[in-house]
Amino acid sequence: MMEGNFKIEIASPEKMIFSEQNVQEVTLPSYEGEMGILKDHVSIIAFLKPGIVKILKSPEAINSFFVEDGIIEFYKNNLTILSSKIVNVKDLNKDKITQLISETEKILKDEKLDDNSRYLANHKIDTLQSLALN
């Protein structure tokens, strides 16, 4: 492992989605706000809200994942992200993004939706719309 780097693993219940030994920095959409993880970060467990996980191997090599939910654990320079809904941004085309937005808009029409679920759904739409613009 290179100086200043750490290991990341992203898994869903079905499979390992991404694994990399040599990461410089990861930015995560936690409930507390955007969170940056660098080597030797204090041990932490946090919940993810809808947003983009950015994995920086080098300034030229960045992997981005759209995540709807999940939990992260950082311990002894190992970052683990567990999520039931995570997708590589490379695999999201305009049609898929539009589909995810319209599915979420249907959820928002439910008048019984609680405030937290409404906030998360709106946040998910905002994130997806920002991806659609890129």
Indicate the domain borders of the chain.
6-88, 92-133
61: nearest Cα among 20, 14, 96, 28: 20
Tokens of 119: 């906030």
DSSP SS3 for 106 = helix
The whole-number pLDDT of residue 34 equals: 93
Tell me which fold the domain 6-88 belongs to: ATP Synthase; domain 1 (2.60.15)
C-alpha dihedral, 134 to 93 to 117 to 26, nearest 10°: -60
**Contacts (Cβ under 8 Å, ≥6 apart) of 19:** 7, 8, 9, 10
For residue 15, the one-letter residue type is: K
pLDDT tens track of the chain, all 134 residues? 457 799 999 999 999 999 999 999 999 999 889 999 999 999 999 999 999 999 999 888 999 999 999 999 999 999 999 999 999 999 999 999 999 999 999 999 999 999 999 999 999 999 999 987 76
The reported pTM is 0.87
Residue 7 forms beta bridges with which residues? Answer: 78
